[in-house]
Amino acid sequence: MNRRTIVRFAARAVTLAVAGGLAAAAVPQDAAAQSWPSRPITVVVPFTPGTAVDISARVVMDEVSRQVGQPIVVENRGGAGSTIGTNVVAKAAPDGHTILVTGSMASAHATFKSLPYDTLGDFVGVISLGLQPLVLVTSPSKGFKTLADLIKAAKAGQLTYASAGIGSATHLALERFRLSAGFQAQHVPFRGAPEGLREVIAGRVDFYSVPLPPALPLIKDGKLVALAVSADKRATVLPDVPTTVELGHKDSAYYLYGGVYMHSKTPAAVVQRLHQEIGKALQVPAVQQRMRQIGAEPMPMSQPEFDKYFRADVAANVKLAKDANIPQQ
């Protein structure tokens, strides 16, 4: 056998070995996806019950449970700016039976000095349950008819604005808008959306950028005035309310989105299976109707696209926190 023949033979052997290895690797992956879930699934929501993300998780996962034939239990593990619940998933076995649904992965990463988990290293983005723009509201007693009225007043004298806590999405949303519009305002953090809304309704705090679900009934009852939504396009449930972007404030859009995440060491086939099952659930008419009622706009993406979006959002929030001089906790 000459040297050229030996080289060709060796190359073919390597090719067959690699192909065999890939095929062997694919078998466990496929088997993992087919056998998942093998027991009840726990979905950790790192917020109190009744938040926009919590409602989204319950609506969608109820349908996914029917599809996969296993119970899915939603556990609210709030506290420490959502980091307690997030850490539960980071420390769980990476077998696809403990899932995270949160809307604050990026904001927590941007505003905490240290975390008990590695945001980008411990998690993989699976899918979004939908975008939820925040709505900027004020009390009718303030007399602001338009967003321009509020900005004019803020530039003339310091106003106050509420948030659900330092580093929360409601805080970062208003910081992004404030930087875009070019005014100063005094931040008044609260423990959650209900407390902030009470103070704004009473007129003790001037304005608030809040998720749609808790604000919608108050807007409809005339207890709050909606001046703008923090989005690129108008919210379906508030078609007459302009966006901050259309009113000329570039780079002012800020979305709250319910993201679904798994441990980064979860088999890729299981991650894809969950993406497919949630995607299927989001197409069910009853699920779509419920999601529309809470103001969630569709956010169709492949699993790799959403994972890329999540990582870009982390970087964008880090930049925003620095630009706004938000102190790390």
In a domain, 26, yes or no: no
* 209 and 221 part of one domain: yes
Domain CATH for 196: 3.40.190.10
- 151 close to 181: Cβ distance less than 8 angstroms: yes
* Burial environment of residue 116 by CB neighbours within 10 A (0 to 12, 13 to 18, 19 or more): middle
138 beta partners = 207, 225
Q: How many folded domains does the chain comprise? A: 2
Q: For residue 295, what pLDDT is reported?
A: 84
Q: What is the DSSP string of 139-188?
A: -GGG---SHHHHHHHHHHS-EEEEESSTTSHHHHHHHHHHHHHT--EEEE
* 263 and 190 part of one domain: no
Q: How many CB atoms lie within 10 A of CB 120?
A: 13
Closest CA to 132 of 229, 203, 274, 246: 229
Domain range spanning residue 311? 39-131+255-323
* 167 and 86 part of one domain: no
Range name among 68-77, 110-119, 160-169, 196-205 with the lowest pLDDT average: 160-169
In a domain, 58, yes or no: yes
pLDDT value at 141 more than 70:
yes
* 118 and 170 part of one domain: no
In a domain, 243, yes or no: no
* 172 and 317 part of one domain: no
In a domain, 238, yes or no: no
* 117 and 261 part of one domain: yes
pLDDT value at 24 more than 70:
no
Q: What is the mean pLDDT of residues 118-140?
A: 95
pLDDT band at 104 (very low <50, low <70, confident <90, very high): confident
In a domain, 237, yes or no: no
- 227 close to 146: Cβ distance less than 8 angstroms: yes
Q: What is the mean pLDDT of residues 64-71?
A: 97
Domain CATH for 89: 3.40.190.150
Give residue 103's Cα distance to chain centre.
3
pLDDT value at 45 more than 80:
yes
Last residue of a domain, one of 194, 229, 264: 229
In a domain, 235, yes or no: no
* Burial environment of residue 1 by CB neighbours within 10 A (0 to 12, 13 to 18, 19 or more): exposed
* 112 and 193 part of one domain: no
* 255 to 14, 103, 155, 210, 264: CA distances (angstroms): 50, 9, 25, 11, 24
Dist. CA 114–CA 116, nearest whole Å:
7
Axis-axis angle for helices 268-281, 52-68 (nearest 10): 100
* 143 and 168 part of one domain: yes
